Every structure is written in structure tokens, then in C-alpha cells.
Structure 1
Amino acid sequence: MIVQGTAGTGKSFLIDCIRKELNISPPMTANPLLVLAPTGVAAFNIQATTIHAGLRIPIREMHPLTGQSLMTLQEQLKHIKYILIDEMSFLGPKLLLKIDNRLRQAFPNKQHDNFGGVSMILVGDLAQLPPVIDKPIYASHSTALSLWHSFTIVITLDTIFRQQGASIRQQQFRALLHNLRNAQALQHDWQFLMCQTNATLTIQQKKDFNSSIHLFATNESARLHNRKMLKELNLPVALSLAKIAKQTNTEYDTNEQLPLEVLLSIDQQVMLIANLWIKVGLVNGAIGLIKQIVYENNTKPPNLPKYVVVQFNDYNGPPWDIAHPKDIPILPIT
């Protein structure tokens, strides 16, 4: 089954309802529903696990599971009758095939059935973010397309709950979002957006928006804005230089996966870019504030800190510091 709907139509609420409806098994019986999502943030938002972790799918090349690893997966999934995957626009043909292969392994008695005989529910909006390094799921010309065509029940949620109101301005805003989603923005949509530019905002409004998340068209524009915000903190800034243990790539300085240098300051807003512990909110994309920068004895910038204490308001795990339960030490990564 496919459940589709644009932003704000209540997809996450519906997922919660499905979870409660299906979790009616008698006591001592495992939940028959497994809820998955393609990213850490998406998984955290609906109290799910990631597709890769839940089905033991590696990020890179995938091989069939054997021995103890296969037995563990089969044991973990033996009660599962339904799998719900949120944010289906992230699913490409490659990942869909991996999911199918893994489920055929997990349920060997039904290894000749699509997805190992499990009932699949895909939720999302295909007009949202596309797959990473893959084609959209519907654009495939491989075995994945036959899997996609097996989803014959499609339900569309068409009432927007997030942006409500009957005023002309509220209706304009809903129409603007709809037209942007469909890549059909009109001149009056542009005019509506341009009524709230920097030139039209009051001084107080500019202050209110100053600390908001900003969107930029280029990495360079984002970098300049981050430098500006860092300077406005008016606090000491620690330069941290990456350690290059083994230079195997002569063009390592163009690699944007990990920057060669990072500027750190107390009360600086930062983003976590790794899934450290999805269940408690330490996910790729989590926003926090730096509270401490701790160095090894007799070291100082530009050496790497021993760890950086970051306050994550969405963190809901055990406290590292009882006095500050949202503060978590983040260590350097390789």
C-alpha cells in the first residue's frame, strides 16, 4: 500500500494511528509492525529506526547475510507482518531491491514472494527530496520497477492541517506552497513572497529573524553567514585543524565530507552530522549549542579538542551531567 500526501496532511499522525491499531497483539507477543525511515532525523521524528539499521543493509556494497548474522536478523523479524517505511521519496530502485533481498533472506519460507511475504506500507510525497545517488523509485527500468508496480493500493491524503485559516493571506500562503511543490510558481506567488524581504521588515523583525535557520543557494553564502554569526557572539574562537593520518589522496583538500578546519565558540549553534544514537535524538541534522570545549592536558588550539559539550534540546536519553541533562560530549570522528 502507498499512503501519499503533501506536507502538512497528517502523514506522521496517521503513522502513529497505524502503529497503535496494529499493536493489539496479546501480552507476551511481539509487535507485528516494524516502522522504518531512510534517515536518522526522519526515524527520530516518528520513533522508528533507519532502514539500514533495521534490516542490516550496509551503506556500500551489500552481500547476503550468513551464519549468526542471518540467524539474528531472522529472530528479530520473526513476528513482523507489516513494514511501514516513511519518506518514500528517498527510496530509489537500488535501495528497494536491497530491502526486497534482505526480507527474502529474513523469511526463507517465503523467499519467492516480494519482500518475503511481508505487507509493505510506503508513506510520503514523491515530490519531496529524491534518493541520494539513485534514480526516483518510479523511474527505474529494472527488477525494482516490478516491485514498485506491486503497490496497487494508493491512498491520498488531501486535507492540509499544518497551514490552516480562511483569511485571504492564509489562502495565498497555502496556494504558494502548493505551486512551489508542483514547480508551477506564478508571478503573484513571487510578489507575495517579496512583501517580506529585508527591505520591508522592521528593525525588530530583523532581530527576531536573525537567529533563525537561513537557506542559501551556495555553500559559500552559507559559510559567510556562519562566519558573520560567529563574529556576532563576540567570544573567543578556537581553530581546530583536522589530523591527516595517511595522505592517500593528493586532492584531500577538496574533499567536502570532512572540513580541514572547524571554528568553535561557546554558544555557537552547530549541527550534528552523524547518527550517534537515533533513539534518543542524537541524529544527523540535530541542532545544538556548544557549552564547553575541552582539551587534553597541555594542549590548546589548533589541536583537536578532546571533546565538545553540546546542548541538544531534543535529546531524551540518560544524562551525562545531572545538572545539565541536555548536554552531551561529542568526540572527534574519523
Structure 2
Amino acid sequence: MRLWQAFPERNNEPFGGRSVILFDDFGQLSPVLDLSMYTVDKRDALSNSSLTVYKQFKEAYKLEIIQRQSKNSKEQQELRGILLRLCNREPSIEDWIILTTRIEDKLSVIECNEFSNAFVMPNFCHFRHNKKYHKTIY
């Protein structure tokens, strides 16, 4: 879903008129339904205009500290290792076993309640039909 599609009232503005913050993680997957910015392959008009808009960004900030996995508990160390192996395409059976312990059915009531305010929707259709979350993205 592109922002101009998500916010059709401002579809003539870059990113649907929304402020955009970009994060860099080279462990992420390739762009969905588009080419990488650095490809030498021929692009379509929409990709070219996206690259033009991207080049309008004038500021960049480098964050030096990884906050999500910055603790040194056994669980945080395990998670860091799992994420690194997944990034390097080297997952193990042990990683899978650890991850299967975090399935909702295996969590305690207290652990499940920690996620009661989580904002998870599998696709934009769920978002569009759930008006109470619209403020979250604005």
C-alpha cells in the first residue's frame, strides 16, 4: 500500500502529504512490488517519480544505539543471535524451538496482556475498516 493510496484526499502530494521517516536495515527484504533504488534495470514511471521524491530528503540522522535489543538478559542475547542468524540466512533448529515458545497459546495471561495495546493488522483493508486506529498513523 502506497501512502497516496492510503490517504486519497491528498493523493497528488508526495507520500500522501504525510511526514516520512526512513529507517535503514540492510537485513530487510527487497522492496515489495518495486525495484531496488540501486538497480540498473529499467524502471517504470512510478518508480522514477518515487526516486525523484526520495532525493528531496535533505536531512539524515544516524542512530548509534540499538534500543530494542540493548539489554543483556539471556532472552535479549538469544533474540540478538536469532535475528543475526536470520539476517545471514543461517537459522538453526534451536532458533526455531526458541521462537515457538513465544506463540500466543504458550504465553501466560500476564505475558499476553503485555500485548493488549499492540497495533497489528495484516493488511490495509483491516486498517481502513477499523476507524479507532486512524489517529495512530496520522
Give the TM-score of the pair, scaled to structure 1: 0.25
> Of residues 169, 174, 177 in structure 1, which corresponds to 2:83?
177
TM alignment of 1:93-242, pairs within 5 A? 124-128=24-28, 130-131=30-31, 133-141=33-41, 161-162=66-67, 163-214=69-120, 216=122, 219=123, 223=126
Superposed CA deviations along residues 54-73 of structure 1, whole A, max 9, x for unmatched, are xxxxxxxxxxxxxxxxxxxx
Percentage of identical aligned residues: 23
User: What residue identity is the alignment partner of 2:34?
Assistant: D
User: What residue identity is the alignment partner of 2:136?
Assistant: I
Secondary structure at 2:104 match in 1 = coil
Count of residue pairs the alignment pairs up: 103
**Rg larger in structure:** 1
Superposed CA deviations along residues 169-222 of structure 1, whole A, max 9, x for unmatched, are 221111122223334332222212222222222223323323312354xx4xx8
In structure 2, the partner of 1:287 is 136
> Of residues 9, 20, 24 in structure 2, which corresponds to 1:42?
20
In structure 2, the partner of 1:319 is none
Tell me the C-alpha RMSD between the 2 structures.
Answer: 3.8
Distance in 1 of aligned mates of 2:29 and 2:20: 12
Relative to structure 1, the CA distance from residue 138 to residue 185 in structure 2 (aligned partners, 3 Å threshold; closer, same or farther) is farther
Secondary structure at 1:199 match in 2 = helix
Distance in 2 of aligned mates of 1:209 and 1:200: 14
Secondary structure at 1:212 match in 2 = coil
Relative to structure 1, the CA distance from residue 141 to residue 161 in structure 2 (aligned partners, 3 Å threshold; closer, same or farther) is same
Distance in 1 of aligned mates of 2:118 and 2:65: 25
List alignment gaps of at least 5 residues for structure 2: 1-13, 43-47, 49-61
Distance in 1 of aligned mates of 2:95 and 2:28: 20
Deviation (angstroms), 1:41: 5.1
Give the TM-score of the pair, scaled to structure 2: 0.50
List alignment gaps of at least 5 residues for structure 1: 1-37, 44-85, 88-123, 145-156, 227-258, 272-285, 289-311, 313-334
Relative to structure 1, the CA distance from residue 141 to residue 201 in structure 2 (aligned partners, 3 Å threshold; closer, same or farther) is closer
Distance in 1 of aligned mates of 2:30 and 2:72: 32
User: What residue identity is the alignment partner of 1:128?
Assistant: Q
